[in-house]
Amino acid sequence: MPTFYKIDKERKLVMSTYSGVLTIADALGHQEKLPKDPDFDPSFSQLFDVTHVTDVQLTAEDVRTLARTSVFSPDSRRGWTVI
Segment 6-26 shows an average pLDDT of 96
Q: At what angle do helices 24-33 and 60-68 cross, to 10 degrees?
A: 10
pLDDT tens-digit series, residues 34-82: 999 999 999 999 999 999 999 999 999 999 998 899 999 999 998 877 6
Going along the chain from its start, the domains and CATH numbers come out as 3-81 (3.30.750.24)
**Complete edge-to-edge strand list for the sheet that includes strand 13-23:** 3-8, 13-23, 45-57, 78-81
| Residue 27: closest CA among 52, 58, 68, 6 | 58
Which SS3 state, helix, strand or coil, does residue 27 take? helix
Can you give the pTM of this predicted structure?
Answer: 0.85
Cα torsion angle, 27, 30, 35, 40, sign: negative
